[in-house]
DNA sequence: GTTCGTGCAAACGGTTTGCAACAAT
DNA sequence: ATTGTTGCAAACCGTTTGCACGAAC
């Protein structure tokens, strides 16, 4: 088990007790914890630690590259006609979403996953849209 | 241009004037409109139509399979250590998120997209987790 | 004594819900 | 009369922000 303090220092984050507690919780979590999940975990040992500090720390860790935020669950929703399948490209600068034709991307291996019955999938690509 | 009324009826949605307006807006939108985007569009021609009705209608259309909700932009966030890349599987029943090893899924074609410089991508799979 | 970190409380923004008025059948 | 639809206002929930207190160099 790697030293959490070392990790924080390596990424340029001053290892305060609160940050160590939050980092331990998120790095050792088995599932994909939300901010409030982490608050719940940390508070068991540290009841005074505030929700704000959890958010502060998570945003700091994301900014420093320790963590990667995943937008997977419910949240801000956009709508697509369900007519034809397609993938999505998200412009990192503007947030603009573009459709990518289904045939442009080939995905293989999804039917060989033993533990998962895959009913659907999509690829989300991120980067810079080229304009000319 | 297909008849919006026909589409609604085909999916078992009573075509009220408000629903027709919302469906027109979302089905003819070029980009990926949010609920409020659609409200803005519809209100130009129908200033009395309420935000609630837009949400009611969109949820109805999603439930009937006319629209597909996309969770791509900011929303509820979960966190991953940024150590190793992986894809994600979301259980449709429970919402549980599982990591899929990067090598288990192969994606090809993303580097041939002329209009997009792809910096990163991930596959989001949805279905039923097998338990035994 | 200034900088950095913490945390309360309030705000924010997208979405949902309770409920009352209103068609429509 | 019952059922389905609309829409206001309020609640909700995850997240962010303003600000004041406190710790550390």
Contact between B96 and A31 using a beta-carbon 8 Å cutoff: yes
How far is it, in rounded angstroms, from Cα A94 to Cα A76?
16
Spatial distance from the CA of A30 to the C1' of D7 (Å)? 44
Cα angle, residue B74 at apex, residues B72 and B76 outer, rounded to 5°? 100
Secondary structure E strands in chain B: 67-70, 75-81, 86-91, 97-101, 106-108, 116-129
Q: Which of residues 51-80 of B touch strand D (CB under 7 A)?
A: 51-53, 56-57, 76-77
How far is it, in rounded angstroms, from Cα A4 to Cα A23?
7
Helix (H, G, I), strand (E, B) or coil at B73: coil
Contact between A92 and B32 using a beta-carbon 8 Å cutoff: no
Q: Considering only CB atoms, which chain A residues are within 8 Å of B55? A: none
Residue with tokens 């297909």: B2
- Calculate the CA dihedral of residues A112, A118, A119, A121 and round it to 10 degrees: -100
pLDDT for residue A82 = 59
Look at residue A2 and tell me whether its pLDDT is greater than 60.
no
Q: How many CB pairs below 8 Å do chains A and B form together?
A: 233
pLDDT band at A55 (very low <50, low <70, confident <90, very high): very high
pLDDT for residue A106 = 92
Q: Give the pair of three-digit tokens for residue A122.
A: 């999509």
Nearest-10 crossing angle of helices B51-64, B35-45: 120
pLDDT band at B83 (very low <50, low <70, confident <90, very high): low
Write down the pTM of the prediction: 0.75
Determine how many CB atoms are found less than 10 A away from the CB of residue B94: 9
Candidate from A56-60, A63-67, A91-95, B15-19 with smallest mean pLDDT: A91-95
How far is it, in rounded angstroms, from Cα B50 to Cα B85?
43
pLDDT band at A131 (very low <50, low <70, confident <90, very high): confident
* DSSP bridge pairs for A58: none
pLDDT for residue A118 = 94
pLDDT for residue A1 = 45
Candidate from A73-77, A88-92, B23-27, B60-64 with smallest mean pLDDT: A73-77
Spatial distance from the CA of B19 to the C1' of C19 (Å)? 22
State the distance between the two ends of chain A, measured CA to CA, in whole angstroms: 50
Cα angle, residue A100 at apex, residues A94 and A106 outer, rounded to 5°? 130
pLDDT for residue B21 = 94
Task: Give residue-wise pLDDT tens across range B26-82.
Answer: 888 877 888 888 899 999 989 999 999 999 998 999 889 888 887 766 666 777 775
DSSP state of A21: H
Residue of A nearest to B24 (CA): A81
Q: Considering only CB atoms, which chain B residues are within 8 Å of A108? A: 105-106, 108
Distance from the Cα of B48 to chain A's closest Cα (Å) equals: 23
Look at residue A117 and tell me whether its pLDDT is greater than 90.
yes
Distance from the Cα of A11 to chain B's closest Cα (Å) equals: 12
pLDDT for residue B32 = 81
Q: Considering only CB atoms, which chain B residues are within 8 Å of A71? A: 71-77
Q: What percent of the residues of chain A are helix, what percent strand, and what percent coil, each to the nearest 5?
A: 40, 30, 30
How far is it, in rounded angstroms, from Cα A54 to Cα A58?
6
pLDDT band at A93 (very low <50, low <70, confident <90, very high): confident
Mean pLDDT rounded to a whole number for chain B: 86
pLDDT for residue A80 = 72
Look at residue B1 and tell me whether its pLDDT is greater than 50.
no
């Amino acid at each position: 088990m790697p030293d959490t303090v070392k990790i924080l220092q390596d990424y340029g984050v001053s290892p305060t007790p609160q940050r160590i507690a939050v980092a331990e919780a998120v790095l050792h979590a088995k599932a994909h914890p939300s901010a409030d999940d982490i608050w719940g975990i940390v508070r068991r040992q540290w009841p005074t630690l505030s929700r704000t500090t959890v958010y502060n720390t998570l945003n700091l860790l994301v900014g420093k590259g320790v963590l990667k935020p995943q937008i997977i669950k419910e949240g801000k929703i956009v709508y697509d006609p369900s007519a034809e399948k397609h993938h999505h490209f998200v412009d990192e600068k503007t947030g603009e979403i573009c459709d990518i034709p289904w045939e442009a991307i080939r995905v293989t291996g999804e039917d060989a996953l033993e533990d998962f019955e895959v009913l659907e999938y999509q690829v989300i690509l991120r980067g810079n849209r080229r304009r000319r």
